[in-house]
Structure 1
């Protein structure tokens, strides 16, 4: 599931698109929702999966009386007795488009409805041109399911061939299928919710009145009572910091009363914990920056006043990193391409190198101050036991950072990544002691990994070196320079048809040389240097002595 740092980039891109449109027209963008049940998952006989749910509230269909044309594939997938069928049977009225994020969930509102998205691993949001969207959804085809009958029910949209980049892994002629679950359609742009695995869930919240910008702000009645009720989570660490800190203190009191000893990394990865927005990557990196062992029991952390104070103070600082200008400039911008599915190498490389610390990294740059903290607590000493006093002298580094190898400990639920060599105490019954080898995340190739750019759809347009080499035309390297003769003036040059056309377009009075051309298009022709015609009027330089 994408974590807060990914949703923060989605939020940034959507807001930039809305503000760009507002600056151009002077009116806040209006939009309406489209839903595509034909692409929604069905689940299996063993495990049910429900993509769509609705909170009807005080909404009635008479508010949007115009019927909509329902596609036969959508009609089959959406039972008539399911609440919320009006989203495909009625023409939804346009209204102001707004967006908000809370933890790992994102909400979009337009007209009488708001949609809350709970993303699966490959779920993402894309802002694309309206014309591209109309062309994309014009044709749906059977999906990629190996079962032909199920593939016929689980439809996908067939992307035009122009969305395939030359030299990409996805070759021309291969089908480029996109699973669009829902979309907010505006005048010139469209916000698309898509998921290659189809496992993303969407929850519709409807209202008798139009949604406004204030409804998607923390503290509003809809924010508190309805918007996030489907998947309750703790307050957001960026947009509801005070409430999040209060929730953390309440969690500490509960742990001290019950003496709960679950490992702190497992607590951070619980959906209903105080760590709203954190997942495996952010939880591992947060503990690294706090110099806390991932296997430390919750009770040990909460009972140590100094350690808990450090942990409490650093969470807001850590989370604000992913709404900073530096993060948005390096990772949050859309790709500079007319292709909406272009792979953003710039964002992907910057995220892996600059905003992933220890999670799936074989080594990490530890800042000097943090390195000294690890040293002072004996965390780099393999003979030391965590929690005991450490009296050995420390050697402060004179560099800005130290490169330290990362250790990996495999776990059935949440793998451990850290740089601590000190031994866990015997009281840590669930501590991991068997280290395992692993591969750096930067070597994942064409697999989706981490960050706002690494999803299946754009990764299909990631350049394949073998394919680029096959498409390369001409000889490698720069062409040789013309031989120098030692005589004054430019050496003789060669012309092709393109240069010929440019020269013929120049007025005769401005031509500085004449040339003859062969009838064959690309045959190089030697050009003889001619005399430069005298200017019609005296120039300023002609009067100089």
Structure 2
């Protein structure tokens, strides 16, 4: 599911839109909640699943009188019939100021009397678009893709307007989108969709309009907002509470409570103890690489030594700052410069994959000098050494800025690491198996702010684009709705160069010489790294040379 980084980008983009409009009109923009129950999942008799729950104990329907000119959709009414959330679809809800908040992996957005908290499931998408685009998007619905025709008629989808399909992208026909809800204003809309229909919503309705103060940390409403989808204290917004939760977790592990013998990577990723808010499988793997811990280490082993636990504690404080840093938002939080709200964000995806994913589903990692030397000195690259035993390293240390090391996939752990030292008896380990690098995933979604189904389908397919996009004459510039260089119609040269390279067989360990185009990110307790290693762009190289 979307983790800390993806949520940060969503909040950043929506907040920027609200801020821009606030400056323009002199007040926070107004909007209303629109719910599309026709797209909700049905579940099964043996596996009930609800897309929405509500808390309307402080709300009365008389607060929002029925508008005679509003005609609700029949499919929405049918799905909402006799449901506690029917009041959200049988009339147009009144507008109110739009406010947004986040906690860990969860997101909340308020408008008027209603605040909706979202659990984004595996890969629900949040899309900003103009009001004109929104009206076109919800123009035509159709039966969903379920093989059972009766269920498909109830779990409906919306047909993607041709303007939202990039020429030369996936050749898949009949593209649709499952819209669960939207915040709609006069000039823009925030659309929540999920092709897998796993997203869940909880609507809290009050007898007054929600305010910005309600969405602040520590407000009386703050615990209520997140009660439906608890993720624990946010590591940046609620640092002291998160640290207190971590200390309680350590105490429980040392006392032998449930989970003390589980692999640390599973405990962080699953977050059943509500201590590791914002983490999922990606961040759990990459954080343990960053902190130099084997992902199969039992929780009790991490907690049993003060020096070891203090490193774990300080590392998590530093690591979680990366996803709220200005550098991360600058490199991955930008909107596309396309007028198509569903255009694939190539720049964000490239920057995230190369700079903010380290070992998770990647075949090779570039390790900064300080981190590489820490692994050396602790014997984590020595296959004869057992983790946790005393170790004296007498060899040379790395003096290069970076070392490139192959990543191993431990299948029983479902974890990725560069550690090759032996694990103590009783630790969860398992065989090392080959895996496909996420950069070779094609149109399958992976991870990152750009990696959502509707956008990934708009990624250019060079072979298909060769057939449908190439025209004689000078390539024209495409319409643009954002900063950056104007896009051009694809050419044979640009399409040929964008084809992914043929995968090559890789050695077990690859050590490259120091590169002049890499920025070193020192790792120290005094200067926490707020950004992972990054390559210089050509323009950055030019500025460096001028300086």
TM-score (normalizing by structure 2): 0.84
| Other structure's SS at 2:34 match | strand
Post-superposition offset of 1:474: 5.7
Report the counterpart of residue 468 of structure 2 in structure 1.
Answer: 471
Report the counterpart of residue 440 of structure 1 in structure 2.
Answer: 437
Supply the distance in 2 between the matched residues of 1:261 and 1:438 (Cα, whole angstroms): 27
Report the counterpart of residue 113 of structure 1 in structure 2.
Answer: 114
| Other structure's SS at 2:429 match | coil
| Other structure's SS at 1:97 match | strand
Supply the distance in 1 between the matched residues of 2:410 and 2:473 (Cα, whole angstroms): 46
Higher Rg of the two aligned structures:
1
| Other structure's SS at 2:255 match | helix
Post-superposition offset of 1:476: 10
Report the counterpart of residue 490 of structure 2 in structure 1.
Answer: none
Establish whether residue 175 from structure 1 lines up as the match of residue 174 from structure 2.
Answer: yes
Report the counterpart of residue 453 of structure 1 in structure 2.
Answer: 450
Post-superposition offset of 1:157: 1.0
Post-superposition offset of 1:169: 1.0
| Other structure's SS at 1:34 match | strand
Supply the distance in 1 between the matched residues of 2:408 and 2:300 (Cα, whole angstroms): 24
Report the counterpart of residue 307 of structure 1 in structure 2.
Answer: 308
Matched-pair contact (CA < 8 Å) for 1:232–1:272 = no
Matched-pair contact (CA < 8 Å) for 2:171–2:464 = no
Taking a change above 3 Å as real, the CA distance of residues 124 and 371 of structure 1, as seen in their structure-2 partners, is: same
Supply the distance in 2 between the matched residues of 1:465 and 1:240 (Cα, whole angstroms): 46
Report the counterpart of residue 36 of structure 1 in structure 2.
Answer: 36
For residues 387-416 of structure 1, give each alpha carbon's deviation from its aligned partner in whole angstroms, at most 9, with x where no partner exists: 1111131311111111111010113xx511
Matched-pair contact (CA < 8 Å) for 2:18–2:29 = yes
Report the counterpart of residue 192 of structure 1 in structure 2.
Answer: 191
Report the counterpart of residue 418 of structure 1 in structure 2.
Answer: 417
| Unaligned runs of at least 5 residues, structure 2 | 476-547
Report the counterpart of residue 542 of structure 1 in structure 2.
Answer: none
Supply the distance in 2 between the matched residues of 1:147 and 1:169 (Cα, whole angstroms): 26
Post-superposition offset of 1:103: 1.1
Post-superposition offset of 1:351: 0.7
Matched-pair contact (CA < 8 Å) for 2:117–2:203 = yes
| Unaligned runs of at least 5 residues, structure 1 | 479-545
Supply the distance in 2 between the matched residues of 1:152 and 1:442 (Cα, whole angstroms): 37
Report the counterpart of residue 478 of structure 2 in structure 1.
Answer: none
Post-superposition offset of 1:432: 1.2
Report the counterpart of residue 233 of structure 2 in structure 1.
Answer: 235
Report the counterpart of residue 386 of structure 1 in structure 2.
Answer: 387
Post-superposition offset of 1:147: 2.0
Post-superposition offset of 1:243: 0.6
How many residues are paired up?
Answer: 470
Post-superposition offset of 1:249: 0.6
* Matched ranges for 1:150-229 at <5 A: 150-170=151-171, 174-224=173-223, 226-229=224-227
Establish whether residue 250 from structure 1 lines up as the match of residue 248 from structure 2.
Answer: yes
Report the counterpart of residue 371 of structure 2 in structure 1.
Answer: 370
Question: For 1:77, which of 73, 76, 79 is the aligned residue?
Answer: 79
Report the counterpart of residue 145 of structure 1 in structure 2.
Answer: 146
Supply the distance in 2 between the matched residues of 1:464 and 1:423 (Cα, whole angstroms): 44
Post-superposition offset of 1:31: 0.6
Report the counterpart of residue 267 of structure 1 in structure 2.
Answer: 267
Supply the distance in 2 between the matched residues of 1:70 and 1:474 (Cα, whole angstroms): 45
Supply the distance in 2 between the matched residues of 1:141 and 1:431 (Cα, whole angstroms): 48
* Matched ranges for 1:335-354 at <5 A: 335-354=336-355
For residues 287-309 of structure 1, give each alpha carbon's deviation from its aligned partner in whole angstroms, at most 9, with x where no partner exists: 00100011111111101111110
Post-superposition offset of 1:461: 1.0
Post-superposition offset of 1:8: 0.7
| Other structure's SS at 1:269 match | helix
Supply the distance in 2 between the matched residues of 1:420 and 1:296 (Cα, whole angstroms): 12
TM-score (normalizing by structure 1): 0.84
| Other structure's SS at 1:353 match | helix
Report the counterpart of residue 543 of structure 1 in structure 2.
Answer: none
Supply the distance in 2 between the matched residues of 1:342 and 1:143 (Cα, whole angstroms): 23
| Other structure's SS at 2:434 match | coil
Taking a change above 3 Å as real, the CA distance of residues 476 and 231 of structure 1, as seen in their structure-2 partners, is: same
